[in-house]
Structure 1
Amino acid sequence: MTAVLLLLAGVVLLVAGGESLVRGASTIARAFGLSPLVVGLTVVSFATSAPELAVTVQASLSGRPGLAVGNVVGSNVANILLVVGVAGTIISLAVQSPVVRRDVPVLIALSLLFWVMAADGSVSTPDGVVLLGLLLTYTTVTVVRSRRGSDPGPVEEAPGAPGGAPVAALLVVAGVGLLVWGASWLVSGAATIATSLGLSETVVGLTVVAIGTSLPELTTSVTAAIRGSVEMAVGNAVGSCIFNLGAVMGLTAVISPSGVPVTDGAATFDIPVMVAVMMALLPIAFTGRRVAKREAWLFVGYYLAYTAYLLLDSAGHDALPQFSWVMLAFVIPITVLTLGLLVVQEVRVRRSRSRTT
């Protein structure tokens, strides 16, 4: 009963925190000359990734740095399939801003780099320094370009907070506190419930903990989508994924004396799935196409399939090899092929338009 109350209380705090953070961040964006999109890609994304950072650093210091990989990978998969998927079921997502269309390839490149780093069985301390350095460069370039006015802001903005920048700053601080507090309560309650149902710690870490630490992003993006701020809804998810790889994974690798160990399962399945999921954003990056509601539901369905794999793996079910083969040899390649065809089609359309003009 206590676990259920913790879970419900965590959801309430997350909703309140998401509302406060979106309003405060939008006001700060206007006060300091930054577009709400850039704030979503930096301040809001980093703030809503605080639970992932807390979990992974704590795991590293407690002698379980391997948990960091599962949390980061699971959270990134949830950020795109679950966060963008759920937000897309509320409102069609069409990102025209060059900021997101530029930063999606950055996210894909960083994901591929992380895969290469993990191929030898660990993310070393030098690897962590590289990841942190790339994140710092990304953040600096994003802010500088926005200040110079080279990146236009989105057409729509989330509503601001009354009282100007001081009140907005308080709302951001309060929002972050509520998000972290709510995520902590929800993860604690959900983990207790999952354990009582006989799930393994691995599954709890990759599902309950990953979903729980991604709930701030989910709450913030859904709140932004409901209020019509499509750019912030997508920008928050993309920025959080970049922050998870650059700061959360990078800092954990730096703190861990011998780096972060990566299991064979993570290197051969979970990380490749994460890379494929990041590539699902290619139509946004190159074509500016909408993520229609039916496609958003497909994202959610993919996440349920990934969760089903983890449950089968935990139970050692006989259907696991067949399910893994279907995921790796059919679903993912078909998805990549479809995305490639969309890009080719868009290139042909643009060439046809240029010839007619």
Structure 2
Amino acid sequence: MILGLSGELVSVVLFLVGVAIVVVSVEAFIEAVAEGALALGVSGFFLTVVLAGTDLENVVLGIVAAADDLPDLALGTVFGEALFILGAAVGIAGVLVPFETTVPRNYLGLMTLAPFLFFGLALDGTLSRFDGVVLTATFVPYLVIVYLLERSSETQYLSAEDVEIRERERERGERERGERGVEEEDEWFEFDMDLDVDDFVEERVPERYEGPAFVGIAVVAAVGMTVGSELAVSGAEDLLALLGVTGLAFGATVMSFIASLEELFLTVEPVRRGRPEIGVGNVVGSMLFFVSANVGLIAMVRPLDTTGTVLTVHWPFFFLALGVVTVAFLRGKVGRPTGVVLLGAYVAYWGGNFLL
């Protein structure tokens, strides 16, 4: 016992605190890198393309879990967060605010075909370090393709302008709710852990030092990600023994769910505010990242076992959810029936993890 707390409670606290530190640190890191790069003269447009699809919370947690000899837990986070975005985030958007959007077929083709390289490399039962190098390397061509498509596309899913609009609308909504002193019922799904590091630096740091200041914040945030990940994985390791579940199941459900809550905001809120292309861009970019650099970096740290429930549970549910979302985007409409199907698939995915 520590400070009068039972070992079980300590494990839960370590896990939750660790995940929270990772999420906050990642938010600060992304904002600091983006603002710092702009201050140093790097293209804001391309920077947004690079950052919008990546999910550093997931990959940091996954790498630390793999390094701590919990590769199944790491692999679970890849499938779990992908299913969370496809099933829960898009599903909730469809149920709460059915929307229509015209998605370029090039994006849909890229999102649908990209997972098959991961799937093909995993069929022999092991995702080796070499496989990880291959998958990680493919993320750069994906970014190049998206960049080239963005230059010729009428709908710029990953443009800096759209992200800036989303942030302005979010901040305006927060100010309005603060003035009223109440929170509107339809805002329940907003989950914001943004530290507004840009406001802090712009108010307190001379302009000529803004670039280095943002870089410094990014370094501190990177340290926070490492510390938080170690705490989260340490707590998760103890919880696995207490709950009697596999690392793959825990990573795919509990860990991914907690680490992915902000994806609800990134997907649902733009849809609710009439900017569905931003939410769709988050889905497309995230899927490309999960099946390439995310799982690739984890495999480079520790080879991954892709037999058993990976084939019987995770891949089937992933392809099911991806297929439903792709068809809905192809039709240009995500309605309540589609949302219900996706949410049902996500609930069934949790059941499959704990029952099979």
Shorter-normalised TM-score: what interval? 0.5 to 0.7
- Counterpart of 1:237 in structure 2 is 283
> Structure 1 residues 283 and 178 mapped into 2: Cα distance closer, same or farther (>3 Å)?
farther
- Counterpart of 1:283 in structure 2 is 327
> Structure 1 residues 247 and 10 mapped into 2: Cα distance closer, same or farther (>3 Å)?
same
Query: Structure 1 residue aligned with 2:97, among 73, 91, 102?
Result: 91
In structure 1, distance between residues paired with 2:130 and 2:65: 20
Would you say the 8 A contact 1:83–1:217 is kept in 2?
yes
Shift of 1:89: 2.9
1:155-210 Cα offsets, whole Å, 9 max, x none, are 974143987x979x79x969999999999988887887786555454432221122
- Counterpart of 2:267 in structure 1 is 221
Would you say the 8 A contact 1:18–1:216 is kept in 2?
no
1:292 aligns with 2:335: yes
Would you say the 8 A contact 1:22–1:224 is kept in 2?
no
In structure 2, distance between residues paired with 1:178 and 1:222: 28
1:270 aligns with 2:276: no
- Counterpart of 1:43 in structure 2 is 51
Which structure 2 residues correspond to residues 30-109 of structure 1 after superposition, within 5 A?
Answer: 34=45, 39=48, 42-46=50-54, 48=55, 50-98=56-104, 101-109=105-113
In structure 2, distance between residues paired with 1:21 and 1:237: 21
In structure 2, distance between residues paired with 1:122 and 1:150: 38
In structure 2, distance between residues paired with 1:26 and 1:151: 24
In structure 2, distance between residues paired with 1:184 and 1:236: 27
> Structure 1 residues 66 and 12 mapped into 2: Cα distance closer, same or farther (>3 Å)?
closer
Count how many residue pairs are aligned between Structure 1 and Structure 2: 299
- Counterpart of 2:120 in structure 1 is 116
Which structure 2 residues correspond to residues 148-187 of structure 1 after superposition, within 5 A?
Answer: 148-153=151-156, 157-160=165-168
> Structure 1 residues 269 and 311 mapped into 2: Cα distance closer, same or farther (>3 Å)?
closer
Shift of 1:254: 2.8
Matched letter for residue 45 of structure 1: G
Would you say the 8 A contact 1:90–1:225 is kept in 2?
no
In structure 2, distance between residues paired with 1:79 and 1:312: 22
Which structure 2 residues correspond to residues 335-346 of structure 1 after superposition, within 5 A?
Answer: none
1:312 aligns with 2:355: yes
1:1-30 Cα offsets, whole Å, 9 max, x none, are 66777788789889989999999999999x
- Counterpart of 1:127 in structure 2 is 131
Would you say the 8 A contact 1:17–1:175 is kept in 2?
yes
In structure 2, distance between residues paired with 1:3 and 1:202: 18
In structure 1, distance between residues paired with 2:320 and 2:78: 15
Question: RMSD of aligned C-alpha atoms?
Answer: 4.2
1:243-267 Cα offsets, whole Å, 9 max, x none, are 11111111222333xx322123212
In structure 2, distance between residues paired with 1:250 and 1:262: 13
Would you say the 8 A contact 1:8–1:186 is kept in 2?
yes
Query: Structure 2 residue aligned with 1:208, among 236, 254, 275?
Result: 254
1:253 aligns with 2:296: no
In structure 2, distance between residues paired with 1:175 and 1:228: 32
In structure 1, distance between residues paired with 2:97 and 2:337: 11
> Structure 2: which 5+ residue stretches go unaligned?
1-8, 169-197
In structure 2, distance between residues paired with 1:132 and 1:219: 27
Secondary structure of 1:280's aligned partner: helix
Shift of 1:79: 1.7
- Counterpart of 1:350 in structure 2 is none
1:292-339 Cα offsets, whole Å, 9 max, x none, are 1332122111111111122212xxxxxxxxxxxxxxxxxxxxxxxxxx
Matched letter for residue 52 of structure 2: V
Would you say the 8 A contact 1:77–1:277 is kept in 2?
yes
> Structure 1 residues 181 and 88 mapped into 2: Cα distance closer, same or farther (>3 Å)?
farther
Shift of 1:120: 0.7
In structure 1, distance between residues paired with 2:68 and 2:139: 25
Shift of 1:223: 3.9
1:96-119 Cα offsets, whole Å, 9 max, x none, are 142xx4223222212222222111
Would you say the 8 A contact 1:121–1:267 is kept in 2?
no
- Give the fraction of aligned pairs with identical amino acids, expressed as a percent: 25
In structure 2, distance between residues paired with 1:19 and 1:236: 15
Would you say the 8 A contact 2:73–2:250 is kept in 1?
no
Matched letter for residue 312 of structure 1: L
What is the TM-score of this pair, normalised by structure 2?
0.65
